[in-house]
Amino acid sequence: MEMTMAESGARQGNAHIPAVRGRGRSHDETTTPGAHTGRPVAAEAVRRTGLLVTLVLGGLTALPPLSMDMYLPALPAVTESLHAPASTVQLTLTACLAGMALGQIVVGPMSDRWGRRGPLLLGMTVYVVATVICVFAPTAELLIGFRLIQGLAGAAGIVIARAVVRDLYDGVEMARFFSTLMLISGVAPVVAPLIGGQVLRFTDWRGIFAVLAVVGLLLTLVVWKWLHETLPPGDRHTGGFGDALRTMRGLLADRVFAGYMIAGSLAFAALFSYVSASPFVVQEIYGASPQTFSLLFGINSVGLVAVGQINGKLLVGRVSLDKALAFGLSVVVLAATALLVMTSGIVGKVGLVPIATALFVLMSAMGLAMPNTNAQALMRTKHAAGSASALLGTSSFLVGAVASPLVGIAGEDTAVPMAVVQLVCGLGAMACFLGMCRPWQRAS
C-alpha cells in the first residue's frame, strides 16, 4: 500500500526533534498506570474505550469556550451589580483569554514531565476553586483576578486533551479524532451564550459561575475515575524548566512543525476576526436583526463542524492530510478575496446574502484547515506532545488576539478591514504551508 504524505512526514519528522531522555517502547507495547487504582492498563485498551475517551476529551476541550461565552449575556448585569465601568468588566473576558493562552505554555511541559493525569487534575481543581470564588466576588478587580486564574487553570484541559490524542493515536486515526473534537469545540461557543441566557432566567450572573463550577467539578471527577494515564514513565522528560525551554526551542527549530503551527495560527486568526467583527458587520452595516445574526452565526458554525466531520469520516485515509489542508486554505483565500471585492464596492453595492454566503464558505473551510494543521504538527512530536500542544494553542490564541482588534481599524462604516485581515491571514497561512512545510518533499 502506498504510504501517504502524512505518514511519510511523521516518519521523517522526529529526526528534527532533540532526543528526549528515557524514551521507552512504543505506546502499543507499553503499559500505563490505571486511573485511580494504580494497576497497569495497556494503551491499546485505552484506545478501545473510544466513546468514553471522546466524551472526556471533548468535555475538556469545550470547557474553556463555555467559560468564555456563557458569561457574555451577563456582562451588562455584572456592570450594574459591581458598580463598575463597562470597560473594566470587559477586562474579565480579556483576563480569561490571556490566562488560557499563557496557561497552555506552562501546563504543556508539565504534562511531558509528570504525565497527563497529575497536571490535568491539578488544573481542573484550581479551575473549580477559582470559579467558586468568582461566584462570590464582591468587586470587579477580584473578579478579573480570578478570571485570569480560571483561564490559566482551564488551559490544562485544552493542551492536555491534544497531548492525550497524540499519545493514543497516530496518522489518520489522529486526524479523525481531531475532527471529532472539532464537532464538540465548534458547537460549544454557539450553545454557550444560549445556555447562559437560560441560566439568567432563573438566577443572576453569579449563577452562571455556579453552573460552570458544577460542570468543572463533574468533569474533574470523570477525569479522576475514567481517564487513564497515557504517557508512560519511560517516555517522560526528566529535566526541569530549562529542559522544557530547550524542548520548545527544538520544536520551533523544526521548520516543518513551525510551518504547520504558524499556518494553523493564521487560520485561527482569520476565524477569530470573523467572530470579533461579524456582529457589527452583519447587524450594523448590513442591517440584520439580532435574531438573523444568531441564525447566520449558527449556520456558519454548522458548516465548520460539518466539513470537519467530512474531513474525519470521508477524506482522512483516502486523501493525504496535506492535500486536504491545501484545499481548505485555498478555499479560505478565495472566500476572503470574494469578501474583499464585495465589501470594497468594486462590484457595486452588495447585499447581506452574498456576504453571508462568502462567510459561510470561509468558515466551513476551517473544518479542513484547523484539524489537519494540528494533526500534521503533532505527528512530528511523539515524545514532546505536551510542549508541542502548548505551542500550538498559545500561538493560536496570541495571533488571534493580535488580529482581532484590526477588524475595526477603519471605523464603523466598512467591513473592508475584516476582509483584509482574513485575506492576509489566509495568504500567510498558505505561504507558511508551502514555504516551510514543503509537502511535496515529504511525499513518497
Task: Render 99-115 in DSSP notation, one character per residue.
Answer: HHHHHHHHHHHHHHHH-
Distance CA(344)–CA(417), nearest Å, equals 10
Q: What is the pLDDT of residues 111-166, one digit of tens each?
A: 888 899 999 999 999 999 999 999 999 999 999 999 999 999 999 998 898 888 88
Collect the ranges in the chain with pLDDT lower than 70.
Answer: 1-50, 182-183, 185-186, 189-190, 239-241, 410-412, 442-444
Distance CA(246)–CA(387), nearest Å, equals 10
Q: Contact, 330 vs 292, CB < 8 A?
A: no
Q: What is the pLDDT of residues 347-357, one digit of tens each?
A: 888 889 999 99
pTM for this model (two decimals): 0.70
pLDDT, residue 433, reads 95
Nearest to 342 by CA among 268, 267, 405, 423: 423
pLDDT, residue 18, reads 37
pLDDT, residue 106, reads 86
Buried b (16+ CB within 10 A) or exposed e, 311-324: bbeebbbebbbbbb
End-to-end CA distance of the chain: 11
Residues in contact with 191: Cβ distance below 8 Å, sequence separation at least 6, in sequence order: none
In a 3-state reduction of DSSP, which class is residue 30? coil
Distance CA(84)–CA(383), nearest Å, equals 47
pLDDT, residue 22, reads 36
Distance CA(440)–CA(444), nearest Å, equals 9
Nearest to 213 by CA among 362, 71, 47: 71
Q: What are the backbone angles phi and psi of residue 351, rounded to the nearest 5°?
A: -85, -175
Q: In the Cβ-directed half-sphere of 171, how many Cα atoms lie within 13 Å?
A: 11
Q: Contact, 191 vs 72, CB < 8 A?
A: no
Q: Contact, 332 vs 270, CB < 8 A?
A: yes
DSSP state of 233: G
Distance CA(54)–CA(32), nearest Å, equals 19
Distance CA(121)–CA(238), nearest Å, equals 20
Could you give the C-alpha distances from 444 to 2, 9, 387, in angstroms and in order? 8, 9, 29
Exposure of 357 by Cβ count < 10 A (0-12 exposed, 13-18 middle, 19+ buried)? middle
Distance CA(424)–CA(430), nearest Å, equals 10
Residues in contact with 183: Cβ distance below 8 Å, sequence separation at least 6, in sequence order: 58, 305, 308, 309
H/E segment holding residue 186: helix 171-200
pLDDT, residue 241, reads 65
Distance CA(4)–CA(93), nearest Å, equals 42
